[in-house]
Chains A and B, each alone.
Chain A
Amino acid sequence: MAKLIQLYRSSVGKKFLMAASGIVLFGFVLGHMLGNLKLYLGPESLNRYAEWLREIGYPALPHSGFLWLFRLVVLGAVGLHILAATQLTLLNRRARPVDYRGRQVVEADYASRTMRWGGVIIALFVLYHLAHFTLGPSWAHPDFVPGDVYHNVVVGFQVPWVAGFYILANIALGFHLYHGLWSMFQSLGVDGESRQGWRRNFAVAFAWIIALANISFPVAVLTGIVS
């Protein structure tokens, strides 16, 4: 524990822990996306899957026990990720108090330059997403039925601006994942062929897969493929 705190004190360590928490969050969005694919298998399949998530480990664990444990881990990773990002951003602002009249961007791509705002967009989206499909107050969802995930998704995405917001947020997620996954190797100290090797391919592949699959859900509802 003392070593973890010592690690966190340094900016190299903060980046290391951002990468570590990023792995947890990457695992979460990947699993979340894979689970949501059950939308294509029909109401029974998706709702049973949602029910199963609450029953993992039962009766060894109480109802929803594993789910809450899992939520705590993800929440911890989100907290650490945001805290470290905020502290590093403030440090970096202090390191360059006077900026150039016109700094040329030589190599940094769009994804890397939008990590901070992309992160903010994703965080706001997640809050909305929780209200929309988990809590379901009337301002967030027109007809929320607890337990009937399929119904909630189909009705929820029939509102075009809501579907549009989901699509935009997942484009932001795709960019964030691309730079994040690539950077993760760097921050964890995976050495060698930094630019065009398997690390970049890995980042590109998963950013596309996760963003496209997530975007397909509202699109499928809007086009009537899922109803």
Chain B
Amino acid sequence: MRLKLQIWRQENGEAGGQFVTYELADASPEMSFLEMLDVLNEQLTERGEEPVAFEHDCREGICGSCGMMINGQAHGPMAGTATCQLHMRHFQDGDEIRIEPWRSAAFPVLKDLVVDRAPLDRIIESGGYISVNTGSARDANEILVPKPAADRAMDAAECIGCGACVAQCPNGAGQLFTSAKISHLGLLPQGQPERDRRVKRMVETMEDYFGSCSNYRECEAVCPKGISIDFIARMNRDYVKALIRGE
């Protein structure tokens, strides 16, 4: 496959950036998108140029490290896949592909396609935990968890924190991520003691960094794990309830 890549290059957070066009003559349809970038980086290194910086780790869609805007869509054109799981067979020979970093006031660009997603960690720190008593380990089945609650909590827990929801949202909102993390704990009996405090603190931390929700549903559409915006509705209700109850 012959590809024309327009990639955002930026030296560091302070420097301005620009799109640079690269020709890649020998991409294979079997490559993943990241492997295609690896090949480009090999060629750049051989030519003595700086390789394109991008984040990656597991390359099997579970770590949430990789993520870039591919032709204006977070994680590219395939639904339910992270960038590492996107394969070049979904592109045509001769395609022009534009690759940009996530854009959000909360995610400053560090270098090329790498952004600082630390605000997502700040949200987790503010309430993404449960109380665990010290002492001897309790029996695993001592706390009964209704099956529907366990299933739904698991759906929310699928969130890998890649930030695609923020990147795709026209408002740069962090509701899908935050609501998934709140629901994942708040749906389970173990998450009840801090339920009100959790939703209040996590929502308020989220609002220090991100925009608000206009129900565009763009986040849900690009989420590699298919997290439902129903969790956002659940978070909204939990937040208002927590305020009424006086947390």
Of A41-49, A68-76, A182-190, the stretch lying at the interface with chain B is A182-190
Band of interface residues on A: 35 or more
B173 at the interface (CB under 8 A from A): yes
Q: Does B236 contact A (CB under 8 A)?
A: yes
Contact B103 A107 (CB under 8 A): no
Q: Is B34 an interface residue (CB 8 A)?
A: no
For chain B, which range describes its interface: under 10, 10 to 19, 20 to 34, or 35 or more residues?
35 or more
Q: Is the CB of B230 within 8 A of A192?
A: yes
The reply to whether A186 and B212 contact each other, CB–CB distance below 8 Å, is: no
Any chain A CB within 8 A of the CB of B81? no
Closest Cβ of chain A: how far from B110's Cβ, in Å?
Answer: 14
Classify the secondary structure of A's interface with B: helix
Q: Which of B66-74, B86-94, B137-145 contacts A (4 or more CB under 8 A)?
A: B66-74
Query: Which stretch of B21-29, B189-197, B215-223 is in the interface?
Result: B215-223
Stretch binding the partner chain, chosen from A88-96, A134-142, A156-164: A88-96
User: In the assembly, what is the distance between CA of A95 and CA of B166, in Å?
Assistant: 10
Structural contact, A12 and B103, CB atoms closer than 8 A? no
Q: Which chain A residues in 65-123 approach chain B with CB under 8 Å?
A: 88, 91-92, 94-108, 112-113, 115
Say yes or no for B168: interface residue by CB 8 A criterion. yes
Please indicate the chain A residues that have their CB under 8 angstroms from the CB of B232 in the complex: 186
Instruction: Please name all residues of chain B whose beta carbon is closer than 8 Å to the beta carbon of A95 when the two chains form the complex.
Output: 104-106, 171-173, 209-211
Asked if A6 lies at the interface with its beta carbon under 8 angstroms from chain B, I say: yes
Q: Tell me if B105 and A92 are in contact (CB < 8 A).
A: no
Q: How far is the CB of A195 from chain B (nearest CB, A)?
A: 8
Q: Given A186-B215, A194-B230, verify A100-B104 contact (CB < 8 Å).
A: no
Give complex CA distance A188, B220 in Å: 19
CB distance from A77 to the nearest CB of B (A): 18
How far apart sit A6 and B207, CA to CA, in the bound complex (Å)? 14
Q: Which of A11, A16, A100 contacts B207 (CB 8 A)?
A: A11
Name the distance in Å between B112's Cβ and chain A's nearest Cβ: 15
Docked-complex contact A189 and B233, CB < 8 angstroms: yes
| Beta-carbon nearest neighbor of A184 in chain B | B215
Pick the residue among A13, A96, A101 that contacts B211 (CB under 8 A). Answer: A96
- Residues from 171 to 188 in A contacting B, C-beta threshold 8 Å: 179, 182-183, 185-188
Docked-complex contact B228 and A112, CB < 8 angstroms: no
Mark interface residues in B207-247 (1 if CB within 8 Å of A CB, else 0).
10111111111101110000011101111111110011010
CB distance from A87 to the nearest CB of B (A): 9
**Is B240 within 8 A of A7, CB to CB?**
yes
* Contact of A88 with B212 in the complex, beta carbons under 8 Å: yes
Question: Which residues of chain A from 182 to 227 have a CB within 8 Å of any chain B CB?
Answer: 182-183, 185-194
Q: Which residue of B lies closest to A97 (CB)?
A: B105
Cβ-defined contact, A91 with B240, below 8 A: no
A96 contacts B172, CB within 8 Å? yes
Contact between chains at B233 and A185 (CB < 8 Å): yes
User: Which residue of B98, B212, B228, B230 is within 8 Å of A102 (Cβ)?
Assistant: B98
Instruction: Using A103-B72, A107-B217, A186-B215 as known contacts, say yes or no to A96 and B240 having CB atoms under 8 A apart.
Output: no
Q: Please name all residues of chain A whose beta carbon is closer than 8 Å to the beta carbon of B203 when the two chains form the complex.
A: 10, 12
Residues from chain A with Cβ under 8 Å of B239 in the complex: 10, 12-13
Can you offer 20 A-B residue contacts whose CB atoms are under 8 A? A11-B212, A12-B203, A13-B239, A13-B243, A15-B212, A92-B211, A94-B105, A95-B104, A98-B103, A99-B103, A101-B100, A106-B168, A108-B217, A112-B214, A182-B215, A186-B236, A188-B237, A189-B234, A192-B233, A194-B233
Chain B residues with a Cβ under 8 A of chain A: 19, 69, 71-73, 98, 100, 103-106, 168, 170-173, 203-204, 207, 209-218, 220-222, 228-230, 232-240, 243-244, 246
Q: Residues of A with Cβ closer than 8 Å to B?
A: 3, 6-7, 10-16, 88, 91-92, 94-108, 112-113, 115, 179, 182-183, 185-194
